[in-house]
């Protein structure tokens, strides 16, 4: 892992750069209303896919905390949730700006009730509550366990929020009642950049997550060393 990591990192960064360049320079089919803002598709949707992947990873490690208690799974669970939230916020911002220039063009509004948008915002609130909970418990092992329980519990409601409910309610998003499915409206030319974009942003997530996990491990080790040092000085 350590040996190949620099090469992997370079490869991922080059891939994402290629995706961004391709997103802005390659041709896209002509679409009414959307026109060139359709390029946002390459960013907005992969951000959300990445957030969901991150949340799944966080829940996976939360189960790991419950099965095998220890610092490692807890650190990974929290880091995955944190990084997933970053991508979620980016997805939300790209969505708001995109809606402002397309759906809400001509009006003065930033936010209208769109079910999928509201559900996504609530998902972010659920994970923000996870971090509030983390700050509320002092004992390290108990905190790991209780927060893992909340993580798994919250994750069971995510499929409701992000998949089942948006399809039942009318919405401007594709895939909701009254709109064609997402795969129906994505032209093959767009898929050429879209699928690499999804892969690229998930890989970018993994990069950030990996670095933060290693940072967390180092900080924990530094904490332990300094407290041992203090103890040895005191004796």
Partner 1 sequence: MSVVREALVVLSKDLRLEWRTRAAISALILFVLSTVFLIVYSVAGEDLQPRTDAAMLWVVVVFSAAIGMGRSFVTEEEQQTATLLRLHASPGAVYTGKLLFNFLLLVTVSVLAVASFVFLLNVDVASGGLMIATVVLGALALAGATTLLSAIVSKTRAGAAVLPILLLPLLLPLLGAAVLATTAAIDGSAWSEASDHLVTLAAFAGVTIAASLLLFDQVWND
Interface of this chain with partner 1, residues 181 to 210, rule: CB under 8 A = none
- Choose the binding region for partner 1 from 77-85, 97-105, 129-137, 199-207 (rule: CB under 8 A): 129-137
152 counts as binding partner 1 under rule CB under 8 A: yes
Site membership for partner 1, residue 146 (CB under 8 A): yes
- Among 13, 56, 86, 169, contact with partner 1 (rule: CB under 8 A): 169
Query: Contact between 98 and partner 1 (CB under 8 A)?
Result: no
For the record, the structure tokens of 24 come out as 């802005």
DSSP state of 35: G
Q: Which of 51, 154, 197, 198 binds partner 1 (CB under 8 A)?
A: 154
Site string for partner 1, 45-74 (x = CB under 8 A): ---------------------x--------
Inter-axis angle of helices 71-101 and 41-67, nearest 10: 160
**Residue of the chain from 122, 140, 181, 222 that contacts partner 1 (CB under 8 A):** 122
Confirm or reject binding of residue 170 to partner 1 (CB under 8 A): no
Residue from 9, 100, 145, 167 binding partner 1 (CB under 8 A):
145
């Amino acid at each position: 892992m350590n040996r190949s990591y620099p090469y992997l990192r370079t490869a991922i960064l080059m891939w994402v750069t290629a995706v961004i360049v391709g997103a802005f320079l390659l041709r896209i089919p002509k679409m009414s209303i959307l026109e060139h803002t359709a390029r946002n598709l390459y960013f907005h949707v992969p951000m959300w896919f990445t957030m969901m992947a991150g949340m799944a990873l966080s829940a996976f490690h939360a189960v790991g905390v419950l099965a095998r208690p220890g610092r490692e799974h807890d650190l990974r669970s929290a880091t995955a949730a944190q990084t997933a939230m970053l991508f979620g916020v980016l997805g939300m911002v790209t969505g708001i700006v995109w809606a402002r220039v397309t759906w809400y063009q001509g009006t003065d509004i930033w936010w209208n009730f769109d079910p999928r948008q509201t559900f996504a915002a609530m998902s972010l609130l659920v994970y923000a509550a996870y971090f509030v909970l983390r700050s509320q418990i002092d004992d390290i092992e108990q905190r790991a366990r209780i927060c893992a329980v909340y993580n798994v519990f919250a994750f069971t409601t995510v499929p409701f929020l992000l998949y089942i409910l948006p399809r039942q309610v009318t919405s401007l998003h594709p895939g909701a009642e009254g709109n064609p499915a997402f795969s129906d409206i994505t032209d093959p030319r767009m898929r050429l950049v879209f699928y690499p974009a999804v892969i690229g942003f998930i890989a970018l997530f993994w990069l950030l997550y990996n670095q933060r996990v290693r940072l967390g491990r180092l900080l924990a080790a530094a904490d332990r060393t300094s407290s041992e040092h203090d103890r040895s000085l005191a004796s």
